[in-house]
Amino acid sequence: SAQKTDKFMGEIVNYDETTVPAYVLPEVLKTAKTTFAWEKKRRPEILQLFAEHVYGHTPKRFDSIRYNITNDKPNAMNGRAHLKEIAITVWNKGKSVTIPVVLFTPNGRQQPAPAFLLINNRPKRNTDPTREVKSTFWPAEMLIDSGYAIAAFNVNDAAPDKPGTYQHGVLDQLFPEELQKPNGMKAIGAWAWAASRVMDYFKTDKDIDFKRVAIVGHSRGGKTALWAGAQDERFAMIVSSCSGSSGASLARRKYGETVSLINKQFGYWFNDNYKKYSNNVEQLPVDQHMLFALLAPRPVYSTNAVEDRWADPRGSYLSLVNALPAYQLYDKRVTLPAEPPAVNSPVIRSKLGYHFREGKHDLNVYDWEKVIMFANYHYSKK
Ligand code: GTR
């Protein structure tokens, strides 16, 4: 049987369900009883709370943006797809940052294709445009054969994923003032900002169905996908793979990775204010179910794995259940059972989708299969 506790960075990590202390989650709706009140008052309030206390505020403007097609192959993947590599350059106050994007769109369609955009936190060979290297993390052929466009950018091009160098990119070049502020955006904020710039490009590409773009991320990328989807309502669908603490899983549940541990190990992902909650998470004015509430009424899918207890799969299901009030403002029929589904029994036919599969912390072909089923189902309903 599995170990019930562990030690990490001087802390005891709990894996015993029976010893999780009771907690009280902040209310999602408060006085909002209509979508109008939600959209005008409570939703913006929650968005501000996440910016102020967790991920940092995202600057609203920049001077200019330019898209450069650096590689254009209309007959990639043996003619099945059109490859474009795009260099997105954003300028602000005389400085610039360039974010390269790899994009395949399916050939032979009458209509623009719905798309998946991966926030890639793994090495670039996982999104190889030549397809010499294939990766189950970004199985581009599988998406193309299912009728979807598939794109990716690498987090390191926006903000290097390292505590000592994360500043060198979007932050020090475009928005240096963010680095000085306790509520300024840090790495996750910069990655989410970059995802929105790819969305800006998609709007100009006639091969893409701009109204059906899903943002996808794994782990730290999954946290980022949720934050990007919360801020940028142009993302029609959100997919979080094993995003755990400060992503899909409830902060107040003492199980696996905690706010304290993530601040110790990955402080540069979050703003400085978040550090105040390391030792009193119950004071945090939000919890992660409210991040899902910000996605309503858009479909969101959360993947989890049996061997990824660190990410608290049960806490990630409970986020969805506790986000229901926001979804139900739009549609009373959106429901979920109180208890998570069994292993390998995905919940597809709900706007709050979820699975708990066998295996480890990863984004793999099983996950993509279910995500495609989820997208097929929800897009066909409209
Ligand atoms: C883990 C970290 C998680 C998650 C993951 C990843 O070690 O504790 O919060 O983000 O890394 O990104 O792979």
Buried/exposed code over 138-170 (b: 16+ C-beta within 10 A; e: otherwise): bbbebbbebbbbbbbbbbbbbbbbeeeebbebb
Distance 68 CA to ligand 1 centre (A): 33
Question: 3-state class of 288 per DSSP?
Answer: coil
Take residue 102 and report the two structure tokens written for it: 């790899």
Nearest CA, atom 13, ligand 1: 219
Buried/exposed code over 299-325 (b: 16+ C-beta within 10 A; e: otherwise): bbbbbbbeebbbbbbbbbbbbbbbbbb
Distance 220 CA to ligand 1 centre (A): 6
For 246-300, what is each residue's pLDDT tens digit?
Answer: 999 999 999 999 999 999 999 999 999 999 999 999 999 999 999 999 999 999 9
For 208-253, what is each residue's pLDDT tens digit?
Answer: 999 999 999 999 999 999 999 999 999 999 999 999 999 999 999 9
For 147-194, what is each residue's pLDDT tens digit?
Answer: 999 999 999 999 999 999 999 999 999 999 999 999 999 999 999 999
Helix (H) or strand (E) holding 271: none
Pair 378, 214: CB distance under 8 Å: no
Pair 214, 115: CB distance under 8 Å: yes
- Residue 100 bridge partners (DSSP): 87
pLDDT band, residue 2 (cuts 50/70/90): confident
Q: Is the CB of 290 under 6 A from ligand 1?
A: no
Q: How far apart are CA 28 and CA 289, in angstroms?
A: 8
In the block, residue with structure tokens 């969101």: 300
Q: Is the CB of 220 under 6 A from ligand 1?
A: yes
Q: Which atom of ligand 1 is nearest to the CA of 265?
A: 8
Q: Which of 312, 304, 319, 316 is nearest to 357 (CA)?
A: 304
pLDDT band, residue 1 (cuts 50/70/90): low
Nearest CA, atom 6, ligand 1: 219
Looking at this predicted complex, what is its ipTM?
A: 0.92
Q: Which of 206, 180, 173, 177 is nearest to 90 (CA)?
A: 173
Pair 371, 217: CB distance under 8 Å: no
- The CA-based angle 277-266-160, given to 5 degrees, is 135
Q: Is the CB of 219 under 6 A from ligand 1?
A: yes
Pairing assessment for the beta strands 237-241 and 208-218 based on DSSP bridges: parallel
Distance 103 CA to ligand 1 centre (A): 26
Q: Is 64 exposed, middle or buried (0-12, 13-18, 19+ CB in 10 A)?
A: exposed
361 is catalytic: yes
Q: Which of 298, 355, 285, 287 is nearest to 326 (CA)?
A: 298
219 is catalytic: yes
Q: How far apart are CA 62 and CA 380, in angstroms?
A: 37
Residue 25: CB partners within 8 Å, gap ≥ 6?
A: 250, 252, 287, 289, 322
Nearest CA, atom 9, ligand 1: 245
